Amino acid sequence: MKKLWILISREYAQVVKKKSFLIGIILTPLLMIGLTVLPALLATKKPAKTEHIAIIDLDNQRVGEKFAEAIKIYKLPSGNPSYEVSEIMKINPADSQELAAARQKLDSLIMNQDLKSYLIIGKNAALTDSVTLVSKSFSITTGSRFEKRLSDILSGQRLEKSNINLQIDSVLYLARRIDLRQEAPGGKERDFMTMYMGGIIFVMIIFMTVIGYGQILMRSVIEEKNSRVIEVMVSSVSSFQLMAGKIIGLGLASLTQVAVWIIIGLGIYSYRGALNVSADISSVIFNPVLIVFFVLFLIIGYILYSTLFALIGSLCNTDKEAQNYIFPITMSLILPMILAMYIIQEPDSAVSTTLSLIPFFTPTMMILRLNVISPESFSLGNPIIVQAIIGVILTTVTTVLVIWLAARIFRIGILMYGKRPTLPEIIKWVRY
């Protein structure tokens, strides 16, 4: 045990001392947020302060005024209106010069950030549906709100123009469309994008830890083979200790990294007001049931996959050779991300349930399902809890088997240089 501890400390120190570790700690979450979470967050973000809007009305049938009135229903948490129409310019559609001048003026206002966006309501908008939103950045939420309000107004105009004798207001009232508010059981506000992002954050952390540290582990085995340090190592410790030391040492380094990320995440969470980040995601993530299973799956998943990486390292002489073997591992980790959209929409379907119980997929897919279903307690009455526990057991059993198999191949593989062994040879090693 003392030797194992010495091996673990060396592996840990070798990784943590490197500059790349520090860079990875800071850069990876930034990259992750930058690539996946942030664009979606911004796109679905509701306005944080009143957005000023201008309207160019080429139609001259009071669509602008009606719109300005209609969007007053949207309020900020502070009670101030979300949108404010600062100007309605009525322009003769025949006068293209005046239109160009107006557009130029409003464009420069947007550039100076005095204006968020402006609408151009085309001639005969009710018949042609020609309405344009000009904006520097585009928010899905704002877009869909404007779309709904404008559709209602234009529908009203069409009704007016038709010869049907109806009470237009009451028809509009009857046909009115709503903005759906999405809530999880228990009353937490949550929409599809939030669930998707929450799940993706978990899967990304598992994915990056496993792939990142798995490859570090594999390279370190290949390097020890190439430099022949392995010869001295196996004369001092057993090959199993060597493998375990690497897996645990690098595992602790990866946990250090995840811990730092969580601290950064908590920091962002506590300053969420100032940073303007939607609180929804945090409320999804900070669910104790989810956290417990996440930590379990992260650890089991890491051990399962890093053992495979150690095995591959022991069979190969160069990184290049190893790339062929890595492919199936990478695929089995990427597949859950490809299927994430489906699993989030159908977390209880037979396909989702089955996939999430296949040991190599369990760590990522079960977390996706848990994130959507979001159980409030560990009650066994909830099928997802039972399934998650079965998942933990199956994955653990698989991991133990993989460790057993890998240890038998590893002890011979690390002393084989040159030719890459064939599959029948590897099978023979298992039986030695």
Nearer Cβ to another protein (226/332): 226
Q: Which of residues 73, 111, 232, 291 is near another protein by CB under 8 A? A: 232
Window contacting another protein (CB under 8 A); options: 233-241, 295-303, 331-339, 353-361: 233-241
Nearer Cβ to another protein (134/233): 233
Q: Which of residues 96, 182, 236, 270 is near another protein by CB under 8 A? A: 236
CA dihedral defined by 179, 183, 187, 189, rounded to 10 degrees? Answer: -80
Q: How far is the CB of 368 from another protein (least distance, A)?
A: 38
CB 209 within 8 A of CB 258: yes
| DSSP 8-state code for residue 114 | S
398 is a site residue for another protein (CB under 8 A): no
7 is a site residue for another protein (CB under 8 A): yes
Window contacting another protein (CB under 8 A); options: 126-134, 221-229, 271-279, 361-369: 221-229
Beta-strand pair 117-121/131-135: antiparallel
First to last CA, the chain: 26
CB 4 within 8 A of CB 12: no
Give CA–CA dist 257/253, Å, rounded.
Answer: 6
Neighbours of 52 (CB within 10 A): 18
389 is a site residue for another protein (CB under 8 A): no
Window contacting another protein (CB under 8 A); options: 96-104, 144-152, 160-168, 227-235: 227-235
Nearest CA to 143 out of 119, 112, 172 is that of 119
Contacts of 419 (CB under 8 A, 6+ apart): none
Q: How far is the CB of 432 from another protein (least distance, A)?
A: 8
| DSSP 8-state code for residue 47 | P
227 is a site residue for another protein (CB under 8 A): yes
Nearer Cβ to another protein (43/233): 233
Nearer Cβ to another protein (245/301): 245
Q: Is 132 helix (H, G, I), strand (E, B) or coil?
A: strand
404 is a site residue for another protein (CB under 8 A): no
Tokens found for residue 390 = 């079965």
Neighbours of 101 (CB within 10 A): 12
Q: Which of residues 16, 237, 389, 426 is near another protein by CB under 8 A? A: 237
Nearest CA to 209 out of 171, 270, 259, 244 is that of 259
Q: Which of residues 164, 235, 320, 418 is near another protein by CB under 8 A? A: 235
Give CA–CA dist 59/170, Å, rounded.
Answer: 24
Q: Is 418 helix (H, G, I), strand (E, B) or coil?
A: coil
- R_g of the chain, CA atoms, integer Å: 29
CA 70 from centroid of its chain's CA atoms: 35
Contact letters for another protein, residues 52-81 (x by CB under 8 A):
------------------------------
Q: Which of residues 351, 415, 427, 430 is near another protein by CB under 8 A? A: 415
Window contacting another protein (CB under 8 A); options: 61-69, 119-127, 235-243, 329-337: 235-243
3 is a site residue for another protein (CB under 8 A): yes
Window contacting another protein (CB under 8 A); options: 1-9, 60-68, 70-78, 259-267: 1-9
Question: Which residues of the shown chain bind another protein in the complex (CB under 8 A)?
Answer: 2-3, 6-7, 10, 14, 226-229, 231-237, 239, 411-412, 415, 417, 428
